[in-house]
Amino acid sequence: MNINKENTVAEIVSKKLGSDHVFSKYKIDFCCGGGMTLEAACKENKVEFETLKQEIEAINTKIGGEQNLNDLDISSLIEQAKEEYHNYFVKTLPQIMPFAAKVAEVHAGHNPEVVEINTLTKGIEIVVTEMIENSQFNLYPAIEEILNLNNISNEISTKQLEILKNAIRNNETAKKLIGDTLKEITTLSSHFLAPEDACNSFKFLYEKLHEFAHQLHKYMHFEKNVFIPKVLKLIE
């Protein structure tokens, strides 16, 4: 795939492996802002298009090939969501939470923002957990039930449609809350830049939060721009 100014950020993230890291480097939103063209994103974030293009192509080549998520079927996308994202969130949140609490307790005097970051991180934990549970116990079973129908357009019931749409709406609400909270954490932490004299716990917290935020943005892009559009085509 050739990269041009008219491509949207979401298209590039879906088709160019590693491009999410380049977008993050230049603080370009590839989740909620994924519908923006590269030209507009570059202008807004004051980066030259050719610089962005070259870095995306370089990292894509280094990683080794392309993975077009749009070519995967829905069942494969569900497995990818579970294995690549859900497992990561479940494993990583328990690593972050104690450090968020510890840093808030120890460093609140000189860095009062860490108290709010701790509170916001607790909120993220609750919403992410609820989003995963909604996906695994409501959304995915509803999709799999529909996929098992012989003729989806003729056999799908009103109840099945309602369950599916409610599960999608619940995840959309969760993603909006997560996106807004991540923006607050990013601003409060000066884009996850720990003070020069920060202790190891402080540095570890910001490093893990940065990594976690990146994975959350990737997941939200995956759902919003790849997975859900493909699911909705089933019921058109």
* Domain chopping of the chain, boundaries: 9-63, 71-234
Band the pLDDT of 67: cuts 50, 70, 90.
Answer: low
Give the chain's mean pLDDT: 90
Which pLDDT score is estimated for 100?
97
Which pLDDT score is estimated for 32?
67
Band the pLDDT of 62: cuts 50, 70, 90.
Answer: low
Give tens-digit pLDDT for 149-208: 988 878 899 999 999 999 999 999 999 999 999 999 999 999 999 999 999 999 999 999
For the cut 50, the answer to whether the pLDDT of residue 66 exceeds it is no
Residue with tokens 């607050």, as numbered in its chain = 184
- For the segment 58-84, the average pLDDT, to the nearest whole number, is 78
**Stronger pLDDT, 29 or 169, i.e. the higher one:** 169
**Stronger pLDDT, 143 or 4, i.e. the higher one:** 143
Cα three-residue angle 187-189-194, rounded to 5 degrees: 150
Q: Which residues of 170-207 are buried (b: 16+ CB within 10 A; e: fewer)?
A: bbeebbebbbebbeebeebbeebebeeebeeebebbbe
Give tens-digit pLDDT for 94-132: 999 999 999 999 999 999 999 999 999 999 999 999 999
Kindly state the DSSP code that residue 67 receives in the 8-state scheme: -
Beta-sheet strands, E only, within 26-65: none
Query: 235: helix, coil or strand?
Result: coil
Q: What is the distance between the alpha carbons of residues 36 and 32, in angstroms, rounded to a whole number?
A: 9
Q: What is the distance between the alpha carbons of residues 231 and 92, in angstroms, rounded to a whole number?
A: 28
Q: Which residues of 44-68 are buried (b: 16+ CB within 10 A; e: fewer)?
A: eeebeeeebbebbbebbeeeeeebe
Share of the chain above pLDDT 70, in %: 94
Which pLDDT score is estimated for 65?
44
Q: What is the distance between the alpha carbons of residues 157 and 147, in angstroms, rounded to a whole number?
A: 13
> Residue 185 in contact with residue 116, Cβ under 8 Å?
no
For the cut 50, the answer to whether the pLDDT of residue 45 exceeds it is yes
Beta bridge partners of 37: 8
